[in-house]
Amino acid sequence: MIVLGIESSCDETSVAVLRESGEFETEVLSNVISSQDFHKLFGGVVPELSSRAHIQQVLPLVKEALKKAGTTLEEVEVITATAGPGLIGALLVGFMFAKSLALATKKVFIPVNHIEGHIFSGFLGGEKPEFPMLVLVVSGGHSLLLLVKSFTEFARLGTTVDDAAGEAFDKVSKLIGLGYPGGPKIQRYAERGNPLAIPFPVSELKGRYDFSFSGLKTAVLRYVEKHYPERHIPEQDLPNIAASFQYAVIRALTRSVKRALKEYRVKSVSLVGGVAANKPLREAIAEIGNNQNVRVFIPGFEFCGDNAAMIAFRGYTLYKSGYGSDFEAETFPALPEAGWGEIVNGEQ
Ligand code: KG4
Ligand code: ZN
Does the residue 339 lie in any domain?
no
Name the band, by pLDDT with cuts 50, 70 and 90, for residue 40. Answer: confident
Task: Give the phi and the psi of residue 257 in degrees, each rounded to 5.
Answer: -65, -45
The pLDDT of 161-171, averaged and rounded, is: 94
What residue numbers bound the domain in which 112 lies? 2-121+302-320
CB atoms within 10 A of CB 329: 16
pLDDT number for residue 343? 53
What is the SS3 string spanning 144-175? EEEEECCCCCEEEEEEECCCCHHHHHHHHHHH
Domain check: are 182 and 284 in the same one? yes
Domain check: are 164 and 287 in the same one? yes
Angstrom CA distances, 88 to 8, 51, 143, 217, stand at 10, 9, 20, 27
Ligand 1 pocket, Cβ-based, cut-off 6 angstroms: 10, 139-141, 166, 169-170, 181-184, 187, 273-275, 277-278, 305-306
Does the residue 342 lie in any domain?
no
CA nearest neighbour of 314 among 156, 78, 70 = 78
Domain check: are 143 and 83 in the same one? no
Domain check: are 142 and 197 in the same one? yes
Cis-peptide, bond into residue 47, ω within 30° of zero:
no
Query: Which atom, in ligand 1's list, is nearest to the CA of 167?
Result: 12
Does the residue 291 lie in any domain?
yes
**Whether the Cβ atoms of residue 1 and residue 77 lie closer than 8 Å to each other:** yes
**What pTM was computed for the model?**
0.95
Query: Which atom, in ligand 1's list, is nearest to the CA of 142?
Result: 7
pLDDT per residue over 246-266, tens digit each?
A: 999 999 999 999 999 999 999
Q: How far is the C-alpha of 112 from the C-alpha of 313, rounded, in Å? A: 10
The pLDDT of 34-49, averaged and rounded, is: 84
Does the residue 334 lie in any domain?
no
The pLDDT of 56-63, averaged and rounded, is: 97
Angstrom CA distances, 113 to 128, 311, 344, stand at 21, 8, 18
pLDDT number for residue 83? 98
Q: How far is the C-alpha of 102 from the C-alpha of 204, rounded, in Å? A: 47
Domain check: are 136 and 248 in the same one? yes
What is the SS3 string spanning 233-284? CCHHHHHHHHHHHHHHHHHHHHHHHHHHHHHCCCCEEEEECHHHHCHHHHHH
CA nearest neighbour of 123 among 81, 156, 151, 153 = 151
Bridge partners of 5, per DSSP, are 16, 80
Reply yes or no on whether the pLDDT at 218 is more than 90: yes
Mean pLDDT of the chain: 94
Helices (H), the chain: 47-69, 88-105, 114-119, 165-175, 182-190, 214-227, 238-263, 279-292, 308-320
Q: Compute the distance from residue 114 Cα to the ligand 2 centre, in Å.
A: 6
Domain check: are 175 and 292 in the same one? yes
Domain check: are 306 and 264 in the same one? no
Q: What is the DSSP letter of 211?
A: B
Residue to substitute in 124, 169, 173 for testing ligand 1 pocket (most ligand atoms within 8 angstroms of CB): 169
pLDDT number for residue 77? 98
Q: How far is the C-alpha of 200 from the C-alpha of 265, rounded, in Å? A: 32
Does the residue 346 lie in any domain?
no
Does the residue 234 lie in any domain?
yes
pLDDT number for residue 299? 97
Reply yes or no on whether the pLDDT at 52 is more than 70: yes
Domain check: are 133 and 41 in the same one? no
Reply yes or no on whether the pLDDT at 344 is more than 70: no
SS3 for 88? helix
pLDDT number for residue 252? 94
pLDDT per residue over 302-342, tens digit each?
A: 999 999 999 999 999 999 999 999 999 999 999 887 788 87
Structural domains counted in the chain? 2
Does the residue 205 lie in any domain?
yes
Q: How far is the C-alpha of 34 from the C-alpha of 277, rounded, in Å? A: 18
Domain check: are 113 and 157 in the same one? no
Q: How far is the C-alpha of 118 from the C-alpha of 165, rounded, in Å? A: 15
Name the band, by pLDDT with cuts 50, 70 and 90, for residue 206. Answer: confident
**Whether the Cβ atoms of residue 3 and residue 76 lie closer than 8 Å to each other:** yes
Cα-to-chain-centroid distance, residue 244: 23
Domain check: are 117 and 195 in the same one? no
Q: Compute the distance from residue 63 Cα to the ligand 2 centre, in Å.
A: 23
Q: Compute the distance from residue 167 Cα to the ligand 1 centre, in Å.
A: 8
CA nearest neighbour of 254 among 161, 134, 151, 155 = 134
Domain check: are 56 and 133 in the same one? no
CB atoms within 10 A of CB 348: 11
Q: What burial class does residue 323 get, using C-beta atoms within 10 Å of its C-beta: 0-12 exposed, 13-18 middle, 19+ buried?
A: middle
Does the residue 335 lie in any domain?
no
Domain check: are 84 and 65 in the same one? yes
Strand 154-159, strand 268-272: pairing? unpaired
CATH classification at residue 288: 3.30.420.40
pLDDT number for residue 258? 95
Tell me what percent of the residues of the chain surpass a pLDDT of 70.
Answer: 98
